[in-house]
Chain A
Amino acid sequence: MLTRREALMGTVAGAATAALLTTMPEARAAAEPPSDISKLPREHVELVAPPFVHAHDQVAIGGPKVVQFHLTVKEQPMVIDDEGTTMQAMTYNGSIPAPMMVVHEGDYVELTLTNPETNQMLHNIDVHAATGGLGGAKLMDVNPGEQATFRFKATRAGAFVYHCAPAGMIPWHVVSGMNGALLVLPRDGVKDGDGRRLKYDRVFYIGESDFYIPRDAKGKFRKYASLGDAYADTLEVMRGLIPTHVVFNGKANALTGEHALKAKVGETVLIIHSEANRDTRPHLIGGHGDYVWEQGKFANPPEKDLETWFVRGGSACAALYTFRQPGVYAYVNHNLIEAAELGATAHIMVDGEWNDDLMAQVQAPIPIPTH
């Protein structure tokens, strides 16, 4: 089928095509006449901090609704590694990444953004799932002491990034913590490439961050009294494009030890992995991606049986996996230097019965036999 995108990209050339375009409304828009939004049911959702996600239906119940979310900007110092390195962070709701919002395709997202008077900076929000208005940023500039609300229709199913995008200092706000993910589920649920429904028992929400912390003359990470103090030095490190930290969920080891993720053999997890700024390549050590929407969008068939998948900076990916073997799994950015040295490692503790068919110890390590 001819789509607007293909035509504009020049895959089908000619004046006839251009003429056709003017008479052919975009399929999706034509299929759904504008609703009287004021008559739709409204639902207010309380967000929860990552790596968890608020309760939601995997298949939509009833028709489209208006789903209300509220984000409050918190500027605050945050410790980003076990050495106590402190970053002057900017966040939505106080977490890095920001909380995940879940709706269904065709729902309307009504998002309120509050910027408390105690903050220093202007903030806004650019939601990659939204159409027009710079993703909302154009409508949502809020100074300290202000609050704004906008609404957009979730027209495409998938995992999307959202982030702060104030003119002139977008990357600084993004790499200081202001990014999160929005999951727009197909109304009839997530499916494999052949139209069969896929269910999950839990969602793991991994937000990967690249941080750029200035160092002092001795090579120690500097600590700043305020965001403004940190800006110039941080920008200099950012321009070098080499992060000092690459971490999951705001801090090295945020998802290990006592905070390790948990699952059971036989359970299926949907891993949403977002990176608002920089490319990454998730890998589950000892496991796979059963179904992976590498670009995160459910209208495309998932890839199967992947070993490592690629998340483009500025996108969120969805990967579905059913655990078949117990143990401690490491979920890493498979640039292993970033995983081991810069922090991008999470652990998943999986309880259950061992499957000897899949793997067995034939001979535990012993001295090399001599004959």
Chain B
Amino acid sequence: MRLMIEAALAAATALTAVLGPALQHPETRAAPALPIVVVAPGTFAFRSPGEYLKNGWPVDAPERTVTFQRGFEIMKDEVSAADYAACVADGACKASESGTASAALPVTGVSYRDAVAYAAWLSAKTGENWRLPTDEEWSFAAAERLHDDSLGLPQESGNPAARWLARYRAEAADDKRDTQPKPFGSFGTNSKGLADISGNVWEWTATCYTRAVVGNDGQVAHSTENCGVRVVAGRHRGYMSTFIRDGRSGGCAAGLAPDNLGFRLVREKLSLVGRMRLLAAEALQGWLG
């Protein structure tokens, strides 16, 4: 606990000194008080992320039924710039590229590594277990906001450019062109109560990039996983190297990149130890005022 006290004191001091009035609200000085959505158990049709080949040609990923036996808890909003700045002030996160510390805006300009560092910091701070959602969890929670990235083209076309052009057209048609991060709630709330799903912030997931070969039976025959690249979820799926903070820089020469990179976290159910750590953190919060 000694380490936590030191960290919290340092955070409080640093925030006041460095970031000024914008961050002096008590919410940001201690562990953020976050609206959580409980996603109920259920079943949905899930199209796997990654690239799939059949008989040597790119095809739509196979769709499969995914069941969540238990529900899970996920942040209603993306992590705010202010909450992320608190982690930066604690020395546990690298400053985001966005440069803002607003409590009303999602943090953007953050990499997968930054998101993982924030989850670790938040977990230590709260005594809870926070982590990035998997692409499956994110897609299930996205509900009607989930974009099916299948192209429905005739398969095994002899024209390798056909899928490429179709993907480009689909993403271009969906391109809203306003890449400025918007205040929470600007993109509305979905049927499960999550805000701003598929707005102009793409969200990091824990899921690794996969390339797979599908047999004639539709089953994955073999696959290669590259965990140096993770799935970013949003209006359309993206695949980004874990250190990329600005999708437009990290994208390819002839495709369309995510507008912004941010994230929201899933809270694992608390263990007994976790509960005790949370109580201690709350006591600390009270002491700091």
Interface positions of A from 316 to 354, Cβ below 8 Å from B: 325-330, 332, 339-341, 345, 347, 349-351, 353-354
Partner of A326, one of B165, B179, B180, B249: B165
Say which size band chain A's interface belongs to. 35 or more
Stretch at the interface among A117-125, A222-230, A253-261, A270-278: A253-261
Is the beta-carbon distance between B256 and A257 smaller than 8 angstroms? yes
Query: B211 in the interface, Cβ–Cβ < 8 Å?
Result: yes
Is the beta-carbon distance between A351 and B165 smaller than 8 angstroms? yes
Interface flags for A224-256 (1: CB within 8 Å of B; 0: not) read 000000000000000000000000000000001
Query: A44 in the interface, Cβ–Cβ < 8 Å?
Result: no
Query: A82 in the interface, Cβ–Cβ < 8 Å?
Result: yes
Q: How far is the CA of A114 from the CA of B30 in the complex (A)?
A: 61
Stretch at the interface among A21-29, A52-60, A144-152, A361-369: A361-369
Contact flag A328-B173 (CB < 8 Å), given A257-B256, A345-B253: no
Contacts of A285 in B (CB 8 A): 253-254
Contacts of A350 in B (CB 8 A): 161
Number of B positions contacting A (CB below 8 A): 32
Interface flags for B13-25 (1: CB within 8 Å of A; 0: not) read 0000000000000
Is the beta-carbon distance between B253 and A332 smaller than 8 angstroms? yes
Is the beta-carbon distance between B99 and A220 smaller than 8 angstroms? yes
Is the beta-carbon distance between B180 and A84 smaller than 8 angstroms? yes
Q: How far is the CA of A341 from the CA of B58 in the complex (A)?
A: 30
Contacts of A341 in B (CB 8 A): 249
Query: A218 in the interface, Cβ–Cβ < 8 Å?
Result: yes
Is the beta-carbon distance between B161 and A327 smaller than 8 angstroms? yes
Query: A219 in the interface, Cβ–Cβ < 8 Å?
Result: yes
Q: How far is the CA of A327 from the CA of B165 in the complex (A)?
A: 6
Is the beta-carbon distance between B179 and A367 smaller than 8 angstroms? no
Interface flags for B156-186 (1: CB within 8 Å of A; 0: not) read 0011111011001101110101011000000
Contact flag A218-B99 (CB < 8 Å), given A351-B165, A363-B56: yes
Contacts of A364 in B (CB 8 A): 53, 56-58
Interface positions of A from 276 to 332, Cβ below 8 Å from B: 285, 325-330, 332
Contacts of B175 in A (CB 8 A): 257-258
Q: How far is the CA of A227 from the CA of B142 in the complex (A)?
A: 45
Is the beta-carbon distance between B177 and A82 smaller than 8 angstroms? yes
Contacts of A354 in B (CB 8 A): 158-162
Q: How far is the CA of A344 from the CA of B44 in the complex (A)?
A: 42
Is the beta-carbon distance between B256 and A327 smaller than 8 angstroms? no
Residue on A nearest B250 in the bound complex, by CB? A340
Nearest CB in chain A: distance from B62 CB, A: 17
Is the beta-carbon distance between A326 and B255 smaller than 8 angstroms? no
Query: B64 in the interface, Cβ–Cβ < 8 Å?
Result: no
Query: B222 in the interface, Cβ–Cβ < 8 Å?
Result: yes
Is the beta-carbon distance between B165 and A349 smaller than 8 angstroms? yes
Query: B259 in the interface, Cβ–Cβ < 8 Å?
Result: yes
Is the beta-carbon distance between B53 and A257 smaller than 8 angstroms? no
Q: How far is the CA of A296 from the CA of B224 in the complex (A)?
A: 49
Contacts of A363 in B (CB 8 A): 56
Nearest CB in chain A: distance from B59 CB, A: 11
Nearest CB in chain B: distance from A343 CB, A: 9
Is the beta-carbon distance between A326 and B159 smaller than 8 angstroms? yes
Contacts of A339 in B (CB 8 A): 253
Interface positions of B from 238 to 269, Cβ below 8 Å from A: 248-249, 253-256, 259
15 contacts between A and B (CB under 8 A): A82-B248, A84-B179, A220-B99, A256-B172, A256-B256, A325-B161, A328-B255, A330-B254, A339-B253, A341-B249, A347-B254, A363-B56, A364-B53, A365-B53, A366-B224
Top 4 nearest A-B pairs (CB, nearest first) are A326-B161, A327-B161, A257-B172, A354-B159
Known: A326-B165, A347-B254, A364-B56; 19 extra A-B contacts, CB below 8 A, are A218-B99, A257-B171, A257-B256, A260-B168, A326-B162, A327-B160, A328-B168, A330-B253, A330-B254, A339-B253, A345-B253, A347-B168, A349-B168, A353-B159, A361-B160, A363-B56, A365-B224, A366-B213, A366-B222
* Residues on A facing B (Cβ under 8 Å): 82-84, 218-220, 256-258, 260, 285, 325-330, 332, 339-341, 345, 347, 349-351, 353-354, 356, 361, 363-367
